Amino acid sequence: MDFLHHLLPDQALLRLENWSFDTNDQQLTLTVSSVQPAAHCPLCQSATQRIHSRYERTLQDRPCVDYTVTLLLRVRKFFCLNAGCQRRIFTERLPQVTVPWARRTCRLAACLTAIGLALGGAAGTRLSRRLGHRVSLNPLLQLVARQALPPITTPKTLGVDDFAWRKGQRYGTILVDLDQQRPIALLKDREANTLAEWLQQHPGVQVLSRDRSKAYKQGMTKGAPEAIQVADRFHLLKNLVEVLERFLATQSAALKAVDLAHHQALGKTLVAAPPAPPTAQQHRAQQRRARRLAHYEQVHKLRQQGYQVLDIAHHLGMGERTVFTYLSSSQFPEWQPYPHRRQTQSLLTPYKPYLLEQWNAGQRQTKRLFEQIQQQGYAGSYMTVTRYTHQLRQFQREQLSTLEGRGSAPASIDSKQPPLTARRATWLVLKLSQQRSVADELLLTELQQHPDLATAINLAQQFAALVRQRLPQQLDRWLEQASSSSIKQFQNFAKSLQEDYEAVKAGVTLAVSNGQVEGQINRLKMLKRQMYGRAGFDLLQKRVLLAS
């Protein structure tokens, strides 16, 4: 009996009257009654001891071991003795036990609310049932929706970025306290006025971190003119990648020449099969390129005739951004395919140099080669080795000499190296030097043999270095070099940096960054997708802010 008394939500105000176990349903029922000497009217707060009647409430409580706990709570109704009060009869309140009209105790509601905040409706319901709580999806979300938002303490350093409600159509804004590393507010859109109003309502922000968005710049300038604006370094490098890639896309001929010279310098023998007729997919790709090329030529022709960008886009049925891209390119920008995912390395890959060496030495028996690499630790199958030796024989047949006897085997048959596209060349240029291989360094040296490419590479690497190493004293000199260069893409980039000079200078000077904001956006996306379309603004805001 003493043990059961300790299970009560409030031992000072409740008295255990009776209890019962139901071993079949694994249920523990506790009959309790209130013992508080007086009650206070919920309207006028006057105390009274005059009892009107009694009734019984059924409350679900937190489970004990594997038993669900039900409280049969006997509460009283009182007369309000204040003649001026509108309430004549009221039920006594037990705020430490439950709230009016509730079917569960406060501590059970708090437990379910924590589950709902962490997991949402569907996953929270599954976990609750495993823990012995009887709750469905909607009541769990309702518990989350009833929670009040935490009070906002104005931070000294605030990070701002946007997130997508529906990608490409509707966006919101997340505000993150970078000192405490937690989100403090969500805004329904990413307009400048919305951000400015929030900053005006919460004065005191000293440092504002953002991307290169003009809307956020305007909102910060209007809402917190005294605060220091910081352009995030990641977004500065992202802008640099876009600029360099746009320029390299206009240099497709030079990239192809460098790629061919690179293969020849490495001594690779690329075995070319007889040209096969183009597949249906290749034929469609050629047709798409021809259409893009025709649009490119039409855009420049219409521009020379004096047409505006909007009129050109409407006439050709194109997007305005595509028209701007074509007009900013002096040469037709080739389509840049996205790189495929890196495939898992075969178990045979570390042993291929040895197999090729033995093959060139005259060892052509697949079974013997398989036994040799097995002794060296190869754990793959015999069929994998068989496919590789068959590939060697195929290459050897294609290189048979016209004279009697066999021709020499190729020095290497690895002809699957991806082509040197603008995107691949961009990442090669901006890759850290300690991460480049010998082949990468050789390819980069060959790229720098072309004057235009060399200028772009030097500008890109200098800007990446001053951002990564935070060298603000080199920013002005770099802006002068980019503005006076012959590359239009870098001239425009330097102009945009000049327009946002103070924020860019602060970005390469201060240690503040938007990294924490990007992490919170990833978490927000996870919560949004986890709720399967139930993530309205109010519910999502509470899950993001309260669970932090």
Taking the CA atoms of the chain, what radius of gyration do you get in angstroms? 36
Token pair listed for 513? 């960054």
What pLDDT sits at residue 267?
53
Beta strand pairing status for 157-166 and 207-210?
parallel
pLDDT in tens, 21-41: 888 888 889 999 988 888 999
Q: For residue 389, what is the enclosing H or E element? A: helix 382-398
What pLDDT sits at residue 338?
57
- The Cα–Cα gap between 488 and 244 comes to 11
**Max CA separation in the chain (angstroms):** 123
**Short-list 147, 140, 107, CA closest to 548:** 147
Residue 443 φ/ψ region, left for φ over 0, alpha for ψ in the -120 to 50 degree band, beta for the rest: alpha
pLDDT at 445 over 70: yes
In sequence order, the 6+-apart residues with CB closer than 8 A to the CB of 457 are 429, 444, 447, 448
469 and 438 Cβ atoms separated by less than 8 Å: no
Tell me what the mean pLDDT of segment 121-126 comes to.
Answer: 88
pLDDT at 317 over 80: yes
What whole-number percentage of the chain has pLDDT above 70? Answer: 91
**Short-list 399, 422, 544, 391, CA closest to 489:** 422
What pLDDT sits at residue 319?
87
What pLDDT sits at residue 240?
96
Q: Lowest mean pLDDT: which of 123-137, 263-277, 467-481?
A: 263-277
419 and 259 Cβ atoms separated by less than 8 Å: yes
Token pair listed for 262? 């690179």
Q: Lowest mean pLDDT: which of 83-92, 305-314, 389-398, 510-519?
A: 389-398
Bigger pLDDT: 532 vs 310: 310
Tell me what the mean pLDDT of segment 168-194 comes to.
Answer: 93
Class of domain 157-232+513-546: alpha beta
Which residue in this structure is represented by tokens 């000077």?
A: 509
Tell me what the mean pLDDT of segment 189-204 comes to.
Answer: 94
- The Cα–Cα gap between 392 and 216 comes to 59
62 and 71 Cβ atoms separated by less than 8 Å: no
pLDDT in tens, 332-347: 887 766 554 455 568 8
Q: Lowest mean pLDDT: which of 151-160, 215-224, 259-268, 392-401?
A: 392-401
Q: For residue 68, what is the enclosing H or E element? A: strand 67-79
- The Cα–Cα gap between 374 and 382 comes to 10
Token pair listed for 350? 């570390």
Bigger pLDDT: 112 vs 409: 112
pLDDT at 327 over 70: yes
**Short-list 157, 158, 164, 227, CA closest to 190:** 164
- The Cα–Cα gap between 90 and 40 comes to 9
pLDDT at 437 over 60: yes
Highest mean pLDDT among 191-200, 296-305, 339-348, 381-390 belongs to 191-200
pLDDT at 255 over 80: yes
Tell me what the mean pLDDT of segment 93-102 comes to.
Answer: 90
What pLDDT sits at residue 463?
96
pLDDT in tens, 139-171: 888 899 888 888 999 999 999 999 998 888 889
What pLDDT sits at residue 397?
65
Tell me the average pLDDT of the chain: 86
- The Cα–Cα gap between 426 and 431 comes to 8
pLDDT in tens, 469-498: 999 999 999 999 999 999 999 999 999 999
pLDDT at 281 over 80: no
pLDDT in tens, 515-531: 999 999 999 999 888 88
pLDDT at 413 over 50: no
